[in-house]
Structure 1
């Protein structure tokens, strides 16, 4: 078997494998190689670079002993797939469900998550979006401190565990989106520095050193990340990638990494014969992110849209601190529902500058919208979720909007367990400083920071979903509401129509109610603590959270904190 590693600045590279130390030969482009007889699937190995190490392989496919242990040879062809009939799934018209493997079930494994797929099938979601699965320090982490980006966390089940999960999702008719992090690597177990110029030498973001995407040696660095993306889509049968914080990618080259990645993924989709999606997390409010390559864009299939979340959150929670300040009034929600973003060149009080550009001509399905996600819950000191009344109204608007809706695990039944920030750093200095670092990250966000210690195991355990809640009456009722909303969205084309220019919104000057028109359908919401009359002509109520009453032929009486989807008579 031939082992290869890129180390262009090294003078000597050696392979530790099969009980011996093997000198490697330098080849073209700084690639070193050696053939070792008898090495095969499962063989443990590591590298020494100029006498330093041993280090795991930068492209390690498996880390059976964790991030500080040796790599193991992993042959993709040894896994037997059963998803031969799977033809992929388009993001258009889809509903996404985000989950964290470690807290989705008590066991926190891919195998246990497979047992919950019938719940997701009954909910009628189209994709699961899995938070990052790369190896991390310790036994618990959100996943954004990952290293060994080509490997899979052994705590969850390793490479075969992920493949089994994807295989089971496809058999159930559900696509899989994987969250990947290319803007930084975790501070612990990051052994890329001795090998090659993977980093630019400056702080790229709050989370770590900037990845070298445009400096000397960056051609191979870019191939490292593009090759990683291709691996997930090709070898793990993943249907799409969610790219973490792309605004933290520092790339001044003529062709941005995202455009290069988009072209590679398009070519791979043609080869595989199934659609592949790229979803960017970006707070730039720049429509070029989701415009096609031939139109001068970066070619992303879709992007997360914080403005939609903020406007929905303010409307159902009443909060207005920090970055919520500009979104506190209902006209902000009305603009977001018809334009996709609030800040399209307008002044952002949180940033103290103008922000964004208009998304004119961009279809709504290219904006992934949510009422809750891991960030918006977990970045609160107490990891607290929205209460049931807020979820009821927020879900009603989200699932009738022109955007691609995304739910966060447990949201559909109003889970009471928090989703806290947790980690398990091995180094004492990182472990002891994590709480203070987290508090500094959110200075100016308007929170009185009183968060539990991220390193305490109880912080992680408290974040696990309690599936017994589903059986409780009020939680079961909310779950049925979510199921009905998704079913209605899929039954009525007006509710999934992505053309934002066709959405009309009326708001109460006093901030009590809102009516969103989706074609001939009216989505009427009463946010107030008392009943309210909204201007919806008489007709058929298709779905309601509570029993509405027709006040007269030109208005509808909604109970406190309720909503209805109506089809007025012609």
Structure 2
């Protein structure tokens, strides 16, 4: 492990120690570098590894500054923690270690207990700020989720963005509340018993305000990515780049008390080093946990079906604690809607859903027609807690041309079935903000680039992206403020009519998952699944010790019959989605006997446990 990183404190950018500012900027090819303040400039001294440093009392917290390279060009600090003037403006010096934390008794939740709720700061509340989010924590507690997953907050151009166009990985978006606002949110979450997962992007940088290349070889032409040259994790001068991102991970955990990171699209990280950057990150996070006594989790978005990423370090894996599995979503979506365009064309529906319940990956060595190759390996030894599943998320909603949620695409009954299919799974369930009350507002793609040519390129790119889905019509203008405003949650609906009923249904499902041992324990070996492709029914049977739970699902639009399992002589009802209390029409039997034939209502899920 590299020895240029200090576990106990941030060592790049500007930091404050004992009343002095410690400045350390990586720019290996520069001839000179200085900090330019309002009324003075401070020259830095270069060391052997391309870092420019000084310790001084002439910089104070709150000071605005830029960095001047070779007495010519001025740029914001690439390791800035705050950009109050936006991506092109001056950086603000921040004492990142200074905050009056009240969460000393908090030490994260076991990953296996996470019930995730993905949200976007700008559209989750009318105000679109961390402070406004704090006011909704009691609502989330009432729902029953215990971990929020926040889409990226690294400073991006303007005030409207999904966050994946961030260009300052260390700086917290100023329009959301900046670094102080995020710390207050995390502290408040911990007081409520809610873990905080932060989405971070280490596979690319956004185009506008991306000045990293001016400081050094942060990018390499050795690899091509959808965003251009790859971030330099294994080419010449990569050590400074690797340190930069490792420092970023440690800062979120140590200085912001973040509980877990979700790393965006790690399959797009290009690194053929003997020690992959993800493995090196995990080694440093383990060291940090030993130093602080706090547990932190690393979750990745991965499109490779490659267990090397999530296998333990001692098995020569990268040690990631978990991953998103889009394939569960795709199989579930095709089963529910019959969609067959784009990447959905690889999925047959209920047979693949049954396989994902059992094997996590749908493709674990078979031929993929969409990818035009044999794809994936088996994930036999990986526990259920390593997989995050969902019926929708920001990608699967917002990357539709019109941003439709499942509330618009499927019936009310099917929405309940989808919820049950996710929350009864042997994996970590994740909800996307608003689905718990059937939010009708679409979640569309939006940006606020100030470069007109770039904005037009984004519009054009969106149109081309949907060609594979044979989408008709025009995509909403991603640059329009109206697109952003129309993507906000409508909180007035939560306590109204069918929206209130849906909320109560989700609440009941989450409670069952927490209380029923067979649902709570994510033992993939204690699971059986069977299905009838013609009838579109699926039986998911899970157990823990003496308790057995069966989840009977009917994805068809007709009544279907299914035979009860014989593992118990009697079964007692826990929940039925088609009953009047959930705005359905039919009561389900309170009990039934082993082997008895059961009549399932259309688009429904019923859950029973052994008596």
Same fold at TM > 0.5: yes
Partner of 1:441: 465
Q: Is structure 2 residue 576 aligned with structure 1 residue 544?
A: yes
Q: More displaced, 367-376 or 204-213? A: 204-213
Partner of 1:189: 209
Partner of 1:470: 494
Shift of the 449–83 alpha-carbon distance from structure 1 to 2, 3 Å rule, reads farther
Specify the SS of the correspondent of 1:523.
strand
Specify the SS of the correspondent of 1:450.
coil
Distance in 2, Cα, partners of 1:106 & 1:382:
21
1:298 to 318, 321, 327: 318
Runs (4+) of structure 1 exceeding 3 A deviation are: 34-38, 445-449, 549-553
Partner of 1:566: 608
Partner of 1:243: 263
Partner of 1:493: 517
Question: 1:110 Cα deviation (Å)?
Answer: 0.2
Deviations 1:454-512 (A, max 9, x none): 00110100100001111221111111111111111111111133222322112124133
Deviations 1:358-398 (A, max 9, x none): 00111111011111110000100010011333321011111
Q: Is structure 2 residue 354 aligned with structure 1 residue 330?
A: no
Question: 1:81 Cα deviation (Å)?
Answer: 1.1
**Are the equivalent residues in 2 in contact too, given 1:533–1:551 (CA < 8 A)?**
no
Deviations 1:74-102 (A, max 9, x none): 00243211111212112112211110000
Residues paired across the two proteins, number: 569
Distance in 2, Cα, partners of 1:361 & 1:2:
46
Distance in 1, Cα, partners of 2:610 & 2:491:
39
Question: 1:58 Cα deviation (Å)?
Answer: 1.1
Specify the SS of the correspondent of 2:214.
coil
Question: 1:111 Cα deviation (Å)?
Answer: 0.4
Distance in 2, Cα, partners of 1:16 & 1:222:
27
Q: More displaced, 416-425 or 265-274? A: 265-274
Deviations 1:522-567 (A, max 9, x none): 1001112122221125521111112224798612112221111012
Shift of the 121–3 alpha-carbon distance from structure 1 to 2, 3 Å rule, reads same
1:63 to 83, 87, 94: 83
**Are the equivalent residues in 2 in contact too, given 1:539–1:567 (CA < 8 A)?**
yes
Shift of the 270–447 alpha-carbon distance from structure 1 to 2, 3 Å rule, reads farther
Distance in 1, Cα, partners of 2:348 & 2:416:
19
Q: More displaced, 503-512 or 488-497? A: 503-512
**Are the equivalent residues in 2 in contact too, given 1:18–1:39 (CA < 8 A)?**
no
1:267 to 270, 282, 287: 287
Q: Is structure 2 residue 33 aligned with structure 1 residue 13?
A: yes
Q: More displaced, 18-27 or 465-474? A: 18-27
1:556 to 579, 590, 598: 598
Give the unaligned 5+ runs of structure 2.
1-20, 579-586
Distance in 1, Cα, partners of 2:560 & 2:195:
41
Q: Is structure 2 residue 447 aligned with structure 1 residue 423?
A: yes
Distance in 2, Cα, partners of 1:238 & 1:551:
47
Partner of 2:7: none
Q: TM-score scaled to structure 1, two decimals? A: 0.97
2:173 to 127, 136, 153: 153
**Are the equivalent residues in 2 in contact too, given 1:368–1:404 (CA < 8 A)?**
yes
Partner of 1:397: 421
Shift of the 509–374 alpha-carbon distance from structure 1 to 2, 3 Å rule, reads closer
Partner of 1:108: 128
**Are the equivalent residues in 2 in contact too, given 1:98–1:130 (CA < 8 A)?**
yes
Shift of the 77–257 alpha-carbon distance from structure 1 to 2, 3 Å rule, reads closer
Partner of 2:329: 309
**Are the equivalent residues in 2 in contact too, given 1:316–1:393 (CA < 8 A)?**
no
Shift of the 233–2 alpha-carbon distance from structure 1 to 2, 3 Å rule, reads closer
Distance in 1, Cα, partners of 2:533 & 2:190:
48
Deviations 1:13-67 (A, max 9, x none): 2221141223322223111124544321001111111233210111111111111
Q: More displaced, 492-501 or 244-253? A: 492-501
Question: 1:446 Cα deviation (Å)?
Answer: 4.3
Distance in 1, Cα, partners of 2:470 & 2:311:
34
Give 1:90-169 correspondences, 5 Å limit. Answer: 90-169=110-189
Partner of 1:528: 556
Partner of 2:4: none
Shift of the 54–373 alpha-carbon distance from structure 1 to 2, 3 Å rule, reads same
Distance in 1, Cα, partners of 2:560 & 2:307:
37
Question: 1:269 Cα deviation (Å)?
Answer: 1.4
Q: More displaced, 118-127 or 25-34? A: 25-34
**Are the equivalent residues in 2 in contact too, given 1:185–1:208 (CA < 8 A)?**
no
Specify the SS of the correspondent of 1:63.
coil
Distance in 1, Cα, partners of 2:186 & 2:112:
20
Give the unaligned 5+ runs of structure 1.
none
Shift of the 248–449 alpha-carbon distance from structure 1 to 2, 3 Å rule, reads farther
Partner of 1:450: 474
**Are the equivalent residues in 1 in contact too, given 2:414–2:604 (CA < 8 A)?**
no
RMSD over equivalenced CA pairs, Å: 1.6
Question: 1:203 Cα deviation (Å)?
Answer: 5.9
Question: 1:439 Cα deviation (Å)?
Answer: 2.5
Partner of 1:210: 230
Distance in 1, Cα, partners of 2:262 & 2:60:
32
Distance in 2, Cα, partners of 1:395 & 1:129:
18
Question: 1:168 Cα deviation (Å)?
Answer: 0.4
Distance in 1, Cα, partners of 2:30 & 2:533:
68
Distance in 1, Cα, partners of 2:467 & 2:204:
21
Deviations 1:309-348 (A, max 9, x none): 1111112222222211232331111111100011001111
Q: More displaced, 7-16 or 245-254? A: 7-16
